[in-house]
Amino acid sequence: MPEKNLTFDVDAVLAHVTEKTRIVFVANPNNPTGSYIPAVELARLRAGLREDILLVIDCAYAEFVTRNDYDMGFDLVDAGENTVVTRTFSKIYALAALRIGWAYCPASVADVLNRLRGPFNLSTAAQAAGKAAVEDAAHVAAARDHNSVWLPWLSDRLSDCGLTVYPSAANFVLVRFPDDDTHNSAAAMTFFESKGIIPRETGGYGLPDCLRVTIGREDEMRAFADAAKEFMAG
Ligand SMILES: Cc1ncc(COP(=O)(O)O)c(C=O)c1O
């Protein structure tokens, strides 16, 4: 569904529902834009969908969000039989290679997932790592706090050198590059790579003039900000 200002558009989605619609997915916050819809919009989406349409809310980046009007939607799950919230250990826990995730969903949905999944879909090692990760609340708090400092810091530095930075509620920023041969996203990618920095290209998401930059360590953020400044001054 086309977005509005790179943000999930509840009205557009509701307008495109047909009798064939069975599932609506929303990534909140979204990747690679970093945008999100607030709790009231999520509730309006659920209220506007038929009862027999499953709403799947992908909250992969939920732990990073610090906005007061954000909500994952657990209340929407509790309120009926047709809403699912999915979570992952791939983001704030940095355990992507272990392939662990979970869902908060009605028992009827869990029953379907249990019948569809492979018999040994989660290894014992992955389960042990997931359990340890959930218990490590200090790690989550430290990672969120780190992101809360360096996300706005990097966004400001990049804006200062003339780049368009989209507001992000996640742990990355989407950056739009100018439309000229020396400063476009392809030139930027080549320049950053020459410095050992590898942003994420977003052409596959329909955003060929942008790159996505993940918030990393302080030294990495300083190195990226310096490189962006040098690139834009060139
Ligand atoms: C919005 C969103 N959901 C889910 C995932 C993937 O999660 P997992 O590693 O648990 O499959 C990603 C990873 O890029 C993502 O951006």
pLDDT (tens digit, 9 = 90+) per residue, 145-177? 999 999 999 999 999 999 999 999 999 999 999
In this structure, the chain runs to a length of 234
| Longest distance between any two alpha carbons in the chain, whole Å | 58
- Binding site membership of 31 for ligand 1 (Cβ less than 6 Å): yes
CATH superfamily of 138-233: Aspartate Aminotransferase, domain 1 (3.90.1150.10)
Whole-angstrom CA distances from 58 to 27, 53, 55, 85 are 4, 16, 10, 6
Q: 3-class SS at 7?
A: strand
Using the predicted structure, report yes or no on whether residue 2 has a pLDDT greater than 90: no
The residue-averaged pLDDT of 1-18 equals: 96
* pLDDT for the residue 4: 95
Q: Mean pLDDT of all residues in the chain?
A: 97
Provide the pairing of β-strand 172-176 with 164-165: antiparallel
Name the residue of 87, 90, 117 whose CB sits within 8 Å of the most ligand 1 atoms, as the mutation to test its pocket: 90
Give the tokens for residue 228: 């962006």
The CATH number that domain 10-135 falls under is 3.40.640.10
The residue-averaged pLDDT of 39-50 equals: 98
Rounded Cα distance between 203 and 180, Å, is 17
Name the residue of 33, 58, 64, 102 whose CB sits within 8 Å of the most ligand 1 atoms, as the mutation to test its pocket: 58
Per-domain residue ranges for the chain? 10-135, 138-233
Using the predicted structure, report yes or no on whether residue 1 has a pLDDT greater than 90: no
Give the tokens for residue 6: 């790179």
Counting from 1 in the atom list of ligand 1, the atom nearest the Cα of 58 is: 3
* pLDDT for the residue 153: 98
Give the tokens for residue 34: 């970093």
The reported pTM is 0.96
